[in-house]
Structure 1
Amino acid sequence: MPIPQLRQLNTSPAAYCDAPDIWTQVFENPHRSFDEDKVVLVQSETSETVTYSQVRDGSRAFGAALVKKFGIKQDDVVAVLSPNHTDAIIVAFGIAWTGALMNLLSPVATKEALVYHLKDSSTKVLVVHAYFEGLATTLADEAGVGRENIFILGGESKSFPSWKDFSKGVGSVPKPLISSRDNVAMLNYTSGTTSAPKGVMTTHANIMFLVSQLGAIDGPQVKLNGSLLLVVPWSHYYGFLVLTVYSFHLGIKTVLLQKPDFITILHSIADYKVTNAPLVPALIAGLLHPAARSIDFSALTDIFVTAANLKMPIRTAVEAQLGLKIRSGYGMTEGVFIYSSSIDYETMDTSGLLIPGLTAKIVLETGEEARAPGQVGEFWIKGPAVFKGYFNRPDINEKVFTKDGFFKTGDLTSVDVNGAVSVHGRRIEAIYREGNWVIPQEVEEVIDTHPSMKESVMVPVVVDGEKLPKAFVVVNEGIEQTAELLEEILMFVNAKLSAIQQLHAIAYIETVPKSLAGKIHRTRLV
């Protein structure tokens, strides 16, 4: 049975969950509360604006061209490679209109990774931002996508036609019927920080459920005249979900940043009077930087931390400086499961509460369910937010899904006395010793209290068949990296750690390897 203490968010009933597909839900929504000429997208670099009706009409035209000219149909795959750009959003919804799968590629992925994603998914059509024009030919040749099936967005090209030209003169094409809400709408490949990348199959029903539920949670605190800053990649599952929830469900203007450097982000918050900002931990920490002191944050009412855990000292300092509460959530490419609302103040220091309509349990290493607050185990989840499975990987699907439908996330979590969930990191990155978990972030927080410390990372190393903690440390500028300092840090830290947490070894590194989203690549240090 579910954990008795795990509490769900209290939301009003979600509307229009019965649409046949996401395009219909977004653009034929009888409950829409804003005008169709409402500006929903802004390109920060150019100040170009796009209205709700322009996204609707442009996506319908592009989808009709895919159907009429290329015969694109349900279960075909069309890929998009672009930074955060208004054209990319229209193209993606055009793919959704056809019932084909959106293969949303990461603009920071390596060429090898992109080729793998295209080949693995059998992509038929590729739409790339003009910035990637030179790469497009290589990708097409190596992945088996015909050059005549490549289109450009976000600029002009001498080699390939634009998606806008491709969409012209198609005439009337009826919208294809999608046979089931459980059909796959989107493919996103996992980041591969702890294992090989896998294609995550997200269905129309998955997205519609979360749009409805998160819209119900956030709706009361969102103002129609507000602005949301989209710094996280739109092509990531969470980025696309943010767009569908805010721009097209709640009607808030979303400001897209194509190349989000820190100073540009700060000025965009001020210039566009941003009210809502989903940010990764590094950017939230940056709000404490002296460069941020002259920025007008008066419109900002909501910060939502994404991608990784935010360390408590940073959270506390930013909240005090800006006079707001930072919200959290928990999800992965495979779905969003835990969320926090601004009215649930007693859960603000956690990842939040279970989204209504989902069932979860925390499974201890012994195989038993957690029954008391604070017990750490793997988070298992089932319900309409959970993805359909990994593309063409029945072997992995069999391992990660239980017979009764629970998805084993691989993440360690616990629940507190308020019924809120805290996420402690990946199970594969932690160490199970003497019946307890050694959590890297908890060890790192102790290491970081040493006065010479800039940043640290803990990884498991195998010594005589046993996993033990090892730390890699980045010291502050101007501090000499000596063996004596390492010994001092080791003694300082181990005096504060429990017996099972104590470091076996410690070493210097110049920087902690991270993804652009702020996730630590621990496997690169093992």
Structure 2
Amino acid sequence: MTNHNLFAALRAAFPAALDEVAIETGDGLLYSWRDLEHGSAMMANLLQSLNLPEGARIAVQVEKSVEAMVLYLATLRAGYVFLPLNTAYQSLEIEYFIGNAEPSVVVCSSANFGWVSKIAFKAGTQHVFTLGDDRTGSLLERAAHCSDQHEVVVKQPDDMAAILYTSGTTGRSKGAMLSHGNLLSNARVLQDYWGWKQGDVLIHALPIFHVHGLFVAIHGALINGSKMIWLAKFDPKKVIEKLPQATVFMGVPTLYVRLLAEPGLTVDACRSMRLFIAGSAPLLIETFREWQARTGHTILERYGMSETAMLTSNPYQGGERRGGTVGFALPGVSLRVVGDDGQGLPPGEIGNIQVKGPNVFAGYWRMPEKTAEEFTADGYFKTGDVGKIDADGYITIVGRSKDLIISGGYNVYPAEIEGYINELPGVAESAVVGVPHPDFGEVGVAVVIAKPGATPDGARIVATLKSSLANFKVPKQCFVVSELPRNTMGKVQKNVLREQYKALFA
């Protein structure tokens, strides 16, 4: 019987010489392929010893570390479902995710154990472990007593491997269910499309709680048996120092902007590099051109989503990488642009992007109605993105549906933030819009109407949000006004607000 477990495919790609270095950390620690094999086996054995139900969710909110990645591999290996959570999430958010996903196991940082465990046990979670970014924590202590031999659990392509929460424009987060087949098909396509070869070395400087760092980068290196230079946090000077030892780098546009601010970024520093990849947010054409001029390399921009992993890419070879576009649909992916009536649009016309392919998720966790809503009768997923395809077939993303803000590569949904602001004392109504920002690409700005007789303070509202929400979601400024601009139907005209505040950070 063929085992379609994603881990089995990644493990099969490990080099024969298991004692070679698989991962080198920024502070000089070396992990061999054998370390990954044995470490993931021990953690998988620990998870299986807990007698978890079939399809149990393992929720993880920890700082980036090689051990955290090994926990991901162990979860796949043991046949459970990995649920990564942004390290910036605070109590209100964690309470929702744990309540919704009902994980059997929660792994958090030691510093957060007090409040996270309280939420988890109250929600019925049986096991809470800690994992530090310094190779400490109860998870490692317990796993140390387990065998380093483990038989990979057999999985089918449609079996769930991970749940990634992605907020909806209604503000309620949805758990995208990704299967072993979804993730493996995407990893194999990208290995070929991006020309991964023997001897490639990846600089991994991304977080590992979302698609880009967890799936695109880690799967890319592992399925090619390639070494990773592992940086716990992005540090532009450290990246430049490591470039001569690497061949591939993946980053969000903000990282490229920060690298360009370093005088050490030169053609010579990039002499061994083969490929720079950008995604998770739009790359400004100025950044694209400045990178070409400074390094002699052309950034390859691609496009994907939590629900689909990667969908499109500019060509690695055999074609032009065009700034401002996300290239072509990847092999196996069908992408179309349709009008509001669902009819296909001619080249150059802007419409709604819909996709279909082996990488596209099965649906949202415990939301059958929402899932049905998001797919067309002929099986295409409605991405909620707006874009166009030119006469040459290059795809350009024009914007996110409605009002999504992409700040530093992270998605911020105004409706979610407005929900929290509207519950604060003295607030009658709020509107959150995205405005341009030189570093983050876009940031949120809140505009608030006071209740009669109340005098809410904008700075205090921002400070209050900081104590209960991830920092990237918190509006950078809050203004208290007498009224919000509205259309004849009474709907707030966010386009007017965006125009009004667009020069705030210019």
TM-score by length of 1: 0.74
- Separation in structure 2 between the aligned mates of residue 85 and residue 156 of structure 1, nearest angstrom: 8
- Secondary structure, aligned partner of 1:238: helix
- Separation in structure 1 between the aligned mates of residue 152 and residue 321 of structure 2, nearest angstrom: 44
Deviation at 1:319, TM superposition (A): 1.0
- Secondary structure, aligned partner of 1:307: coil
- Separation in structure 2 between the aligned mates of residue 242 and residue 454 of structure 1, nearest angstrom: 22
- Separation in structure 1 between the aligned mates of residue 43 and residue 320 of structure 2, nearest angstrom: 47
Equivalent in the alignment of 1:375: 349
Matched to 2:36, the amino acid is: V
Instruction: Indicate yes or no: 2:372 matched with 1:390.
Output: no
* Residues 131, 304 of structure 1: alpha-carbon distance in 2 compared, 3 angstrom cutoff: farther
- Separation in structure 2 between the aligned mates of residue 142 and residue 377 of structure 1, nearest angstrom: 45
Structure 2: unaligned runs, 5 residues or longer: 405-434, 446-483
Aligned residues: 431
- Separation in structure 1 between the aligned mates of residue 439 and residue 284 of structure 2, nearest angstrom: 15
Deviation at 1:164, TM superposition (A): 4.7
* Residues 227, 130 of structure 1: alpha-carbon distance in 2 compared, 3 angstrom cutoff: farther
- Separation in structure 2 between the aligned mates of residue 244 and residue 453 of structure 1, nearest angstrom: 26
Deviation at 1:54, TM superposition (A): 1.6
Deviation at 1:411, TM superposition (A): 0.3
- Separation in structure 1 between the aligned mates of residue 175 and residue 326 of structure 2, nearest angstrom: 26
Deviation at 1:462, TM superposition (A): 3.9
Alignment of 1:86-485 (within 5 A): 86-130=66-110, 132-146=112-126, 148-155=127-134, 161-170=138-147, 174-178=151-155, 180-191=156-167, 195-220=171-196, 222-224=197-199, 226-269=200-243, 273-293=245-265, 296-335=269-308, 336-349=310-323, 350-370=325-345, 372-429=346-403, 462-465=486-489, 467=493, 469-470=495-496, 472=498
* Residues 453, 197 of structure 1: alpha-carbon distance in 2 compared, 3 angstrom cutoff: closer
- Separation in structure 2 between the aligned mates of residue 175 and residue 49 of structure 1, nearest angstrom: 25
* Residues 98, 138 of structure 1: alpha-carbon distance in 2 compared, 3 angstrom cutoff: same
Conserved 8 A contact 1:346-1:418: no
Conserved 8 A contact 1:39-1:51: yes
Question: Which of 42, 49, 57 pairs up with 2:38?
Answer: 57
* Residues 136, 108 of structure 1: alpha-carbon distance in 2 compared, 3 angstrom cutoff: same
Deviation at 1:153, TM superposition (A): 4.4
* Residues 400, 285 of structure 1: alpha-carbon distance in 2 compared, 3 angstrom cutoff: same
Instruction: Indicate yes or no: 2:501 matched with 1:507.
Output: yes
Instruction: Indicate yes or no: 2:24 matched with 1:47.
Output: no
Conserved 8 A contact 2:10-2:219: no
Identity of aligned residues (%): 21
- Secondary structure, aligned partner of 1:470: helix
Conserved 8 A contact 2:42-2:149: no
CA RMSD of the aligned region, Å? 3.1
Question: Which of 23, 38, 63 pairs up with 2:20?
Answer: 38
Conserved 8 A contact 1:84-1:256: no
* Residues 237, 344 of structure 1: alpha-carbon distance in 2 compared, 3 angstrom cutoff: same
- Secondary structure, aligned partner of 2:177: strand
TM-score by length of 2: 0.77
Which stretch of structure 1 is more off in the superposition, 34-43 or 55-64? 34-43
1:99-119 Cα distance to aligned partner (Å, 9 max, x none): 110111111222221222122
Which contiguous aligned blocks of 4+ residues in structure 1 show a shift greater than 6 angstroms? 452-461
- Separation in structure 2 between the aligned mates of residue 375 and residue 304 of structure 1, nearest angstrom: 27
Matched to 2:101, the amino acid is: S
* Residues 468, 58 of structure 1: alpha-carbon distance in 2 compared, 3 angstrom cutoff: closer
- Separation in structure 1 between the aligned mates of residue 333 and residue 284 of structure 2, nearest angstrom: 27
Conserved 8 A contact 2:237-2:262: no
